[in-house]
Chains A and B, each alone.
Chain A
Amino acid sequence: MSTPGLDTGGALDPPEQPEAELPRSYLRLCLLLMLAEGPSHGYELLEQVRRLGLRGAEPGGLYRSLRAMEREELVTSCWQMSQAGPPRRTYLLNEAGHLALRVSVGSLREMQRLLATLLDRYDDLVGQVGPTSRP
């Protein structure tokens, strides 16, 4: 069954493997969350960020984000001495960082609500147009 007058021209056909377009601030949000869970080091943060969907995250971008968050006083860092190897920089979230996380999560929840509305309408539309695989 198709909707009269609605020529989808194949535009509703989903790509095989859709790539999620994450917001530019996603890395920062990940870092705020991970540091809210506890102090951490650069390499551990990088691995966790990759597990949260930023598979292409690289150390340079992580370093710049952490430095920017330090300048904005969201994050504090110190060098942690080690018997086994060179000192490592430990990052901690401070009060302003926790507040920034709460604000960002509130914004995300609103975005989630809007996206859910949009997706429901899309699903309704696809249901009218005819059977197709859901992206």
Chain B
Amino acid sequence: MEAERRAPKSEALRALYWRSEILQLLYWLRGEGLGDLVDPPLLERFLGVDAATGLRYLERLTDDGYLDRDGDWFVLSAHGLQQGTLEFAATFSELNRPVRGDCSADCWCHVSGEEAAACAAGRGETTTDEHAGT
């Protein structure tokens, strides 16, 4: 599946990648009022990961305390919800960065780290390595 090909190749990074994808999906479903529960077929529909692989990651997240299991279904645990709050903060800060699209294409901030820092300072924000690398 395409989603599997896109995921990192090393098992450790792969686990982190799917943890993030699955947790984000659970928060998204909650936010949209589409329920709190997921199962492997739902992961397949939403994330494009085959059900057997999805189940493996769901079980792993359950073992790690992010999810609680109820039969075939999985739900965010209190720890998983707390982790989500941290991820919200991280994602929100992404928007505060000057990234592609925030500045015009000819802005000097795309050229070097120093220029990125100067640009961010001018906008009253802090710069990041990602921005400096653009």
**Is the CB–CB distance between A43 and B34 below 8 Å?**
yes
Residues in chain A near residue B46, CB distance under 8 A: 59-60, 63-64
- How many cross-chain pairs have Cβ atoms below 8 Å apart between A and B? 61
Q: Kindly identify, within residues 96 to 123 of chain B, every residue whose CB is under 8 Å from any CB belonging to chain A.
A: 99-101, 105
Task: Bin the interface of chain A by size.
Answer: 20 to 34
How far is B100's CA from A81's CA once the two chains are assembled, in angstroms?
A: 24
Asked if A77 is at the interface (CB within 8 A of a chain B CB), the reply is: yes
Task: Bin the interface of chain B by size.
Answer: 20 to 34
Which residue in chain A gives the minimum CB-CB distance to B89?
A79
A42's contact among B32, B42, B88, B91, by CB below 8 Å, is which? B32
**Is the CB–CB distance between A79 and B47 below 8 Å?**
no
CB of B75, distance to nearest CB on chain A (Å)? 13
Q: Using a CB–CB distance below 8 Å, which chain B residues touch chain A?
A: 6, 25, 27-34, 42, 45-48, 88, 91-92, 94-95, 99-101, 105
29 contacts between A and B (CB under 8 A): A41-B31, A42-B28, A42-B32, A43-B32, A59-B29, A59-B32, A60-B42, A63-B25, A64-B46, A64-B47, A64-B48, A71-B6, A73-B100, A73-B101, A76-B95, A76-B99, A76-B101, A77-B91, A78-B91, A78-B92, A78-B94, A79-B91, A85-B31, A85-B33, A86-B30, A87-B27, A87-B31, A89-B28, A95-B105
